[in-house]
Structure 1
Amino acid sequence: MEEHFKCLTDAYRCFLSGSRPDRSAADVAAVMFGGLCGLVPVQLREERCTEAEMICISVTLLEKITSSLTAQSLPVQLTLYSEEVLRVLFGDMNLMEQLVHHFQAEDQIISHLAAKCASACVFFHLQKCGMVCPFWQKKCTEAFHSSPPGTELDACLWSVTDVLRKTLKESQQGILGKLVDTFDCSLCALCLKLLPEKNEDCLDSFAHSRHWGTTICLLLDLLEVLSASSLICGTRVCLKSQRITHIRSAALLHMISCSSEGFVKKRALLLLKRTVLQKVGEDWALGEVLSSGLKYENFSSDMSMLAQSVLTAVDNNWLHSVQVEPAAFFGGTRHTKMMGDEGQKPDCVMLRAVSLILLKSIELHIQTAGAKGVDSATEVYGYLQRLWGFLKRYCTQLTEVTHLCCWISLLFGEQDDDMMEAAKAALSIFLNHRLRSGLDDGAAFAAACASGCNPHCHFVLLLQSISFDHSILLDFLISVETCFLEYVLRYLKYLRDNWQSFIAACGGISVSGSLTASSADVVARAYKSEGDHVESSSSTQVTGINPPVKRLSLAPEVRLVEYDSSDESDPDNIEDSDVRPRASVCEKSRFSGMDVQQETSGLSVSIRQTQTETPTALVVEPKSALERKPEDSSLPVLQCDQTLCANMAPLSEQVTFETLTKTVFCLSELRVVVTRLHTKKLFPYNPSSLLKLLAQVENSYKQSHLQPFNKCRR
């Protein structure tokens, strides 16, 4: 009996070291089968190796053999040996039937190890012959139709999710479609049972089960994989199970507001957030898998359905029923007092998720309403006001601000990708609302600030949060982890055509980061007063060098976009789909993060305001804590005549001027360094439209400020 135990342990050590076991493949297979079936009692010295331990050892060895064969990581002789072991186990002994039987084991360790092993075997079989194992398929289908929350259903959900995820990573659309079709009906039936839209008796009975929370989380993982699989279908029709997240979105929202389990609410919120942002599977899928760009036939209607479900829930006081759990730490959840407050620190992950779900739903709703010729302007800010009310219940910082436009920086400051998504959605909401509201510019921007949706304020506050550091913007432009490129192109196009409104917004924001405007009326007055300072003028010369990039983190030999195939786009016709960098990894690449760092370390820019009447240079001394230190003499400062105007201009005009100066200087530095990288073919895509827009912004700045300088000199 001791020899059986020794056989398994020796075989496992051989597979770890890559050597061939001494015993024959048939002997090892027989011992593994006996151990998994509980037919081999083992007496080891004075201790007895339990049946559960023998099952775990046998299953673990089988999973190791199968995974190694799938990865093709074994030597030739050991590969042939392993294939013979599997042939005996699954051919002569029909081990899969016994393996799936352990899905229902009360011991959760055995159940999970069996599911993990079965998944590895099923995926190997799919790779080898393209067929789905019938015993595994039958077991999972029956569990989805009839099993209550418990170890059996959990094992089936985990196993199907794992096989689908591995298939998705391998980009095997034929096998993936076959797998989804196999479980389509049973999965839809399971979701109807576990995700009812109303508080029905079945949900109450399941919720009292100790397995319910685990089962729901496993189901949410499966729904994310199914949603991700729909993104690679292209123009083909999706199966119903791949659209469950959209179709049952109302049920997910209901579960978020009614569930007593904090981790269940959080997982459901994150699923809806990734779905509405079209980022399902981003944590584990390869970039190339989810970047096809082609959408399935019902994609637009599904996204519209999801958005409408969210807005309908908000109309029915869904935000009031959502309870945000206290902030969590590694060991669980604990009570944490906030600075100067007796309350608990909220979970900002949930607050960000709720905010993005609602913002993107408003954006989608506006786009759909506009396509149908429906005026939705009157209801947009109503949804935003409900969101502010929800956030202020949990976030003390937001209750203390007087200018709501800073909410994006406060809430999303620790999460770059979410912050860019929120800013992009807010910009889209503002543009669509302004188009349909019929308000004049002053009233439109006052209303935008009152609702926290002024895109100029968002952009300036974003630059303040990074200390006007152009190298961080460069990092954002190169990275594919955020939508910054889409956002900044659209915003710069709008800024180019609406320069006066940008000056008005700068009047309400100080360079130090505090807000000088106490109400939206100040922005409206600033917009009106700045209208007298616009006048055409001569050109400006831009030369110099640029400080080194600090946050560039791309690995060497990785190129985000095929440079040679990158076409120049027209900045006057910029669409989101045209500006997103295409993710691709090439073995031979001219672009690397190290090269960019080396090239930009010697670059710098200096901007001087020149006029035809006088060659005198106009100098501004740094006054903000965000300015560069005096000892950094090599770093340029945008030079203009603040000293001459100091005794003549009101403080608000000085604040506006300083904010404008730092903003335009940051963008000018960015333009120069991107130009240099593009010239040396080190930039990952063609930035021509971006550079054109940045130059146009600089020209707008020069034209709007030459007249005040002349007045100061007179």
Structure 2
Amino acid sequence: MEHSASCRDLSTMRERFDCLTEAYACFLMGTCPSQCVACVIFSGLVPGEVRECAPSENRRVNSAELSYISVTLVEKITSNLTSRSLSPAVTLYCVEMLTVLFQDMDLMSLLMQQFQAEDQIISHLAAKTVSTWVLYQLHKSGTVSPVWQKKCVQAFYISLPGPELDTCLWSLNEVLKQLLKGAHREILGKLLAAFDSSLSTLCSKFLPKERDKTTQCLVDLPSSSSGRWGTTFCLLLDLLELLTACSVICGAGICLESPRMTYVHSSALLMTISCSSEYFVKKRALLLLKRAVLQKAGEDWSLGEVLLTGLKHKHFDADMSVLSQSVLTAMATDWLHSVQVESSSFFGGTRCIRGKEGQKPDCVMLRAVSLLLLKSMELHIQTAGGTAGVDSATEVSGYLQSLWGFLRRCSVQLTENTHRCCWVSLLFGEQDDDMMETAKALFSIFLHHRMCSGLDDFAVLEAACASGCNPHCHFLLLLQSISFDHSILLDFLISIETCFLEYFVRYLKFLRADWQGFTAACGRISSPHFHLSLQQSVTALCAADTLKVTCKGEPDRVKFSSCAQSTGVTSQVGRVSLAAGFHLVEYDSSDESDPENMEVSQDEPAASVCDKSTFSALDVKQEISGPPVPIRQKQYEASDSTGLLSRPNSTLERRAEGPSLLVLQSEQTSGPNMAPQPGQEAWETLARAVICMSELREVVTRLQTNKLFPYNPSSLLKLLAQVENCSKLSHLLHFNK
């Protein structure tokens, strides 16, 4: 009676609008309104109950505005209760009012009717309010709203694109996002169980496993609802990504079909990418598959840190295998030829640039296609376990050639460079996380090819460059892209946004066993047009004079020149460059603490020689944690560089104990206009790379000593020290030839 009385006192829309506005302001300030507004809220959603404002009023209020503020006020109250951000008195008031609205007045049914409203604003606000109420009930009692569940399940079974299905999909997506952010495993399990069957039916209708190749997607047909289909399909793709993230959060505790649907329907998603008439649908489906293969579903909704804590469910390996096989099967049927890549977009839309610049492709699509294929190949290799032989190596090489052909057709910029290893840095240079994933995948592909091809060492590296997967080239190009700045590598090491640590450790294990291949790659990368073979690069490198580094009072600049003799080895190396900008760790201030020991612990000596007679993987197997990279010891022939692998005499061994690779002098013996010696550019690249890794080791050691590094870097430091020892010995052997 009290509610009815307060509602009768406010007879016009304007009066009720002002009442709800005052109540909203009270809730924002954390106080209770002067009267109960439950009846006013309900009446704002029932058409025809309130008369229009008098003409004399300053501003008329229509029924739509009254509905907007009514629904918004309910959503605000419910979300505040869920977050527990209200005082006890206000909380009690809100609970009583929501009890009146949802139990006595059945507000939920009235809100669900708005899902089909022609007014998209009220439809969206209703869906938002319903989702908030569903979350509140799930947190409070662990039960799913029966009215909401019935409405959504009915829409999913019918699967007819339209406002009702769109609103139901959006509402379920919103509930899942909020539950995923809080990692509520038990509640997620109950919610998914309530919708599992209906969601499976919905996906089967939009993404049938078997489809006639002569037809397009099931509902992607020329009709008046084609625009509506695109909206519905993108909402479905969002739902698939959230369900995939649910499978990570729930881990082994989930045995439902719906969280696995992205993998189960991966073939249909690939066909959607190739046959859909809407480019934004193609792109959205491709990005979903990319995140699925990278195990990063949900990252756009700030779920990254939560997903890191998830456990793999029992079907995880099988699902990833299904996805990779679907991609490779599509590749074998020329799927890439049907993938459309439009011109790049900007904030004003899409444009084609003609003239000297040429057309700019959509690099987001190019990166997604590349990563999807490369990660699928990596998964396929891991599943095979390295048991395949030459045929497997040939198959993998064929996939890579198809990818390079696709990139060549779509990007003018990539076709201008003949060295395919450069395509990784050109395509992924603006996306650190994708670039690291690509480098890691290509590294796995290289190791597989090396093991299965049966080729000798130089032939393997030549074939790797021809296929664009030489790990030495990728690492050197990465260093070049960051101007050999060790501080950026440090940022990568302490960041959780990339897989750089995993990639870096694996590569360093490989590098310490293949220093000759690294020096050869330096020669090739330094070649102006990358036309030298690896064998020619090594020959040119060894023909160069010994490198001398000259520092002239500028801490961020190092000059290189050739010299005939060396006077010694100093203990401090110059900094190559410091890129402008801020870094995650301000490590320059840490050297004011206790004196640091910059050497690796003496009771755990690192390998000091790279050749077969003094170095093997078994020497460090007990020192470095994790599975070792398969290592075949190198024996390079028919070049002057064979001296690099000979056993050092006692004099060289004593000299190799010096703490630095390069010779630093204050004077420059060669003139500024002197033409560079053959291989000098290669030695410059090699020197800058070694200095970068040496400075990185020093900084990480200093941070570890001062207990400022976020994890234990002992294994990493051992690897860096071993690589540095290899470089010292290589340099001294070359100097004393």
| TM-score, with structure 1 as normaliser | 0.83
Aligned to 1:248: 265
Which of 418, 430, 437 is 1:402 aligned to?
Answer: 418
Equivalents in 2 of 1:619, 1:496: separation in Å?
A: 15
Q: Return the letter of the residue paired with 1:665.
A: I
1:301 lines up with 2:312 in the alignment: no
How far apart, in 2, do the equivalents of 1:301 and 1:236 lie?
A: 17
Deviation at 1:285? 3.9
1:333 matched to 2:346? The reply is no
How far apart are 1:112 and its partner, in Å?
1.2
Higher mean C-alpha deviation, range 689-698 or range 235-244:
235-244
Checking the alignment, whether the CA contact within 8 Å between 1:8 and 1:31 is kept in structure 2 is yes
Contact 1:196 1:203 in 2 (8 A): no
Alignment-derived partner of residue 472 in structure 1? 488
How many corresponding residue pairs?
637
Compute the displacement of 1:412 (Å): 0.6
Letter in 1 for 2:501: L
Could you tell me which residue of structure 2 aligns to residue 124 of structure 1? 136
For the structure 1 residues 84 and 336, does the alpha-carbon distance in structure 2 shift closer, same or farther, using more than 3 Å as the test? Answer: farther
Secondary structure at 2:736 match in 1: helix
- Tell me which amino acid in the other structure corresponds to 1:43: E
Which residue does the alignment assign to 2:409?
393
8 Å contact kept, 1:421–1:483: yes
Structure 2, unaligned stretches of length 5 or more?
A: 1-11, 545-567, 587-603, 605-620, 629-650
Q: Structure 1, residues 529-559: CA drift from partner, whole Å, max 9, x if none? A: 87999xxxxx977457979896554499xxx
Aligned in 2, Cα 1:29/1:238: closer, same or farther, shift over 3 Å?
same
Which whole-Å deviations, capped at 9, do the CAs of 1:260-283 have from their partners, x for residues lacking one?
212111111111111111111122
Paired position in structure 2 for 1:32: 41
The C-alpha deviation readout for 1:652-698, integer Å capped at 9, x for no partner, is: 42222111111000000000000000000000000011111111111
- Measured after TM superposition, the shift of residue 433 of structure 1 is 1.3
Q: Which residue of 1 aligns with 2:683?
A: 657
Distance in 2, Cα, partners of 1:554 & 1:441 = 39
Deviation at 1:643, TM superposition (A): 5.8
1:436 aligns with 2:452: yes
Report the CA distance between 1:239 and its aligned residue. Answer: 1.4
User: How far apart, in 2, do the equivalents of 1:472 and 1:201 lie?
Assistant: 46
Which whole-Å deviations, capped at 9, do the CAs of 1:498-553 have from their partners, x for residues lacking one? 1111111111012xxx644216xx114435787999xxxxx977457979896554
Partner Cα distance (2:187, 2:508) in 1: 44
Matched, 1:705 2:714: no
- Range moving further from structure 2, 189-198 or 446-455: 189-198
C-alpha change, 1:489 and 1:265, in structure 2 (3 Å) is same
- Report the CA distance shift for 1:638/1:348 in structure 2 as closer, same or farther (over 3 A): farther
For 1:526, the equivalent position in structure 2 comes to 537
Identity %: 59
Q: In structure 2, give the amino acid aligned to 1:185.
A: S
Equivalent-residue separation in structure 1 for 2:658 and 2:221 (angstroms)? 81
For residues 68-95 of structure 1, give each alpha carbon's deviation from its aligned partner in whole angstroms, at most 9, with x where no partner exists.
1111222222221111110101111111
| 2:378–2:445 contact (8 Å) kept in structure 1 | yes
Q: Report the CA distance shift for 1:648/1:45 in structure 2 as closer, same or farther (over 3 A).
A: closer
* Corresponding residue number in structure 2 for 1:203: 219
- Give the structure 1 partner of residue 164 of structure 2: 152
Distance 1:135 1:293, change over 3 A: closer
Q: Select between 278-287 and 688-697 the one with higher mean Cα deviation.
A: 278-287
Deviation by residue 1:404-425 (Cα, 9 ceiling, x = unmatched): 1100110011111111111111
Give 3-state SS (helix, strand or coil) of 2:364's partner. helix
Distance change (3 Å), C-alpha of 1:618 and 1:352: closer
Question: Shift of the alpha carbon at 1:12?
Answer: 1.4
Measured after TM superposition, the shift of residue 453 of structure 1 is: 0.7
How far apart, CA to CA, are the structure 1 residues paired with 2:579 and 2:696? 11
2:478 corresponds in structure 1 to 462
Q: Shift of residue 16 of structure 1?
A: 2.0
Shift of 1:350: 0.9
Matching residue of 1:163: 175
Give SS of 1:336's match. Answer: coil
1:277 to 2:303 alignment: no
- 2:375 is aligned, of 338, 356, 360, to 360
| Residue 470 of structure 1: how far off its partner (Å) | 0.4
- Change in Cα spacing, 1:86 to 1:553, as seen in structure 2 (3 Å) is farther
- Three-state SS of the structure 1 residue aligned to 2:52 is strand
Larger Cα-atom Rg: 2
1:186 equivalent to 2:198? Answer yes
**Distance (Å, rounded) in 2 between the aligned partners of 1:529 and 1:304:** 45
* 2:461 and 2:470 in contact (8 A); partners too: yes
- Cα distance in 1 for partners of 2:386, 2:470 equals 24
8 Å CA contact 1:195–1:248 kept in 2: the answer is: yes
Of residues 43, 53, 62, the one that matches 2:52 is 43
SS in structure 2 of the partner of residue 211 of structure 1 = helix
Q: Does 1:234 align with 2:251?
A: yes
Partner of 1:310 in structure 2? 327
Kindly indicate whether residue 399 of structure 2 is the aligned counterpart of residue 383 of structure 1: yes
- For 1:407, the aligned partner's letter is W
Q: Deviations over 1:143-199 (max 9, x none)?
A: 001041111111101100111111111121111000011111111111111123533
Aligned match for 1:16, one of 28, 37, 42: 28
Deviation at 1:250, TM superposition (A): 0.7
Cα separation, 2, equivalents of 1:103 and 1:262: 28
Q: Which moved more, 1:363-372 or 1:60-69?
A: 363-372
- Cα deviation per residue 1:457-488 (whole Å; 9 max; x = unaligned)? 00001100111000110111111111111111
Cα displacement (A) at 1:305? 0.6
Q: Hey, what does 2:702 align to over in structure 1?
A: 676
How does 1:530-569 map onto structure 2 within 5 Å?
Answer: 542-543=571-572, 553-554=583-584
Q: Determine the C-alpha separation between the residues in 1 that align with 2:582 and 2:440.
A: 23
- The residue that corresponds to 1:517 in the other structure is 530
Match of 2:82 among 60, 70, 74: 70
Q: 1:497 is matched with which residue: 506, 510, 513?
A: 513
TM-superposition CA deviations, 1:34-64 (whole Å, max 9, x none): 1123243342343653333322221111111
AA aligned opposite 1:7: C
Task: Work out the CA distance in 2 between the residues paired with 1:214 and 1:284.
Answer: 19
- In structure 1, how many angstroms separate the alpha carbons of the residues matched to 2:125 and 2:17? 19
Task: State the distance in 2 between where 1:220 and 1:468 align.
Answer: 41
**Aligned partners of 1:454, 1:90: CA distance in 2, in Å?**
64
Contact 2:573 2:660 in 1 (8 A): no
> Corresponding residue for 1:414?
430
Letter in 2 for 1:31: V
Give the Cα separation in 1 of the matches to 2:402 and 2:72: 52
SS, match of residue 55 in structure 1: helix
Offset of 1:647 from its aligned partner? 14
Worse-matched range after superposition: 234-243 or 464-473 = 234-243
Q: Corresponding residue for 2:524?
A: 508
2:726 maps to a residue whose letter is: S
2:136 maps to 1:110: no
What secondary structure does 2:336 align onto?
Answer: helix
Task: Write the distance in 2 (CA, Å) between the matches of 1:8 and 1:575.
Answer: 65
Deviation at 1:235, TM superposition (A): 2.7
Verify: 1:224 aligned to 2:241, yes or no: yes
Q: Structure 1 residues 553, 380: CA separation in 2 closer, same or farther (over 3 Å shift)?
A: same
Q: What's the RMSD between the two structures over aligned residues?
A: 3.2
Gaps of at least 5 residues in structure 1 are 534-538, 557-567, 577-608, 621-636
Which whole-Å deviations, capped at 9, do the CAs of 1:229-283 have from their partners, x for residues lacking one? 1112233344111011111111111111111212111111111111111111122
